[in-house]
Structure 1
Amino acid sequence: MAISSPHCIRNSIVPRVALPRGLNYRCGNFKKTRLQVLACSSVADKGLSFDKRVETLLDSVKWDDKGLAVAIAQNVDTGAILMQGFANREALATSISSRKATFYSRSRKQLWIKGETSSNFINVHDIFLDCDRDSIIYLGKPDGPTCHTGAETCYYSSVSSIVENPQVKKDILAMTTLYSLESTISERKDEIVRKIESKPSWTKKLLLDEKLLCSKVREEADELCRTLENDEEKSRAASEMADVLYHSMVLLALKDVKMEDVLEVLRKRFSKSGIEEKNSR
């Protein structure tokens, strides 16, 4: 895990401390292993005993008059905003050392670890402070649904839907373009399974004809390559890549593979040489 901030003390290295295995820290473009912890983020493993440099970092956060700052949890693979809470100095330090998203409950006036009752922890991979140093992002991987309602995230009430169709109550998860497309493909697949009559759909046609689908994936991949070989415009390459993504996502839907699974694989390859990774297959 790394904690990132552009305002860290960059040139000081603190003594070795017993940190969780594999726990790394980053400060700007500087990165050290668990044996050399940067001044911006070192925390001893027991009793939240802070190194002086960690105190300096925590002092630099603009805590409000109650000693709190907004803390947002974000999915490291999908980018989805999972939830928002508050953190104090101890909660932030606990998140760094335990790698579990930890917040401060204003109602109970105590720390709480997301998942401590539901087991749906948010496993922290990185922590970011904003430019004003008054809000925090826990970038992590959730073990399950984040919202207490059982929803994937706490953000599923679309303002535009509420304003435009107040009589229709429908939960809509806040999703980026890629995941909105994945959701639509999933809906078409569900319509086929449930034999729901609807208007003709190219997605359904692909889902029902594996041979056609595979031929389209190959065709679109070839057309993408031709944009490079024929030195075509960037817009053309973007268009062909969109076709490759769409048809590949339909194929993934048939294999019950989510884009989040694909992105997780890519993330885990970041620290490994591409040549080494291929040789290990």
Structure 2
Amino acid sequence: MSEILFITREPFAIQGNSRPALHIMPDAVYALVVTDPSLDFEENRAEPGYGTLLYKAPASSDSSDEETTGQTTLHRFAFTRKDLRSTCTEAPVVLKLLEIAKKLKAHVLSDYGALYFRDENGLVNVTEDAQAKSYIMGDKGTRYALTPDGALADPASLPAYLAENDFSFLPETQAEPRAEQPQHSEKPEKPQANSHAPAAPDYCKGMGTLKCSLFSRAYQKNVQLSINAYYAWCLSFLSGINCGYQDFPEQMLRYPIYPSTSNEDIAFLNAYCTRNPDDPFISACLALRTMRLERQ
């Protein structure tokens, strides 16, 4: 039986309800795809936002998740709410998995619990030492030590953990305000495909209220005037958020707007809008803000 490798935010199974688990969110994967030419994505229509991450690499030997065409090999990494996974354990692919995991602030584990890592020489190495994986990385890079049952080693760090990683908790793990719960039993409404992306608020005006499909259509047809108008609106919106966070510098975006970063931003907005055509454009802008905050 072939070995399976997992990219996961959680190295241990959490026992009890000591904290909500960290998950790899679709927007984080979209950010990888639009900034890495070797990656692509196939969405699972039955579970929007999830599917298969495709890695185009130089042709290698046979594997169940590979499709060789000419001089390249297409590796397929299944992306679910739990993790990203691969059945290929060849060194070049594992190195790519480690690169992806680093950007996602995650671990690469085998199906028997061993941790894959790069040693001081940059080579792939493996350890079964539980101490080596006894931590998780927060969305902003904070390292949180764990106990073997998945709880935070320092319980006092829970408020900071919850504040830093709000984006990476699945909706069902977040507590609902009890006062708002109806007293009668009703069938709950089906959640939106991208439930962490809010609808445009009533006070929002301009292009942010338009459907994402309009932006992706302009992008596909290369209508530069429209693309630039949407992007200008997005930058103005993000600048407005920065003004609101002047007393909280850690929540302010600080990255230079060069042609390269503009192209990357626009590609990210298009990737989000293509996968969420009915969301308001403001949701794509908020997703872009989250991606940039995680990377700065």
Q: TM-score range, shorter-chain basis?
A: under 0.3
TM-score by length of 1: 0.25
Specify the structure having the higher radius of gyration (Cα): 1
Instruction: Name which structure has the greater RCO, CA cutoff 8 Å, separation 6+.
Output: 2
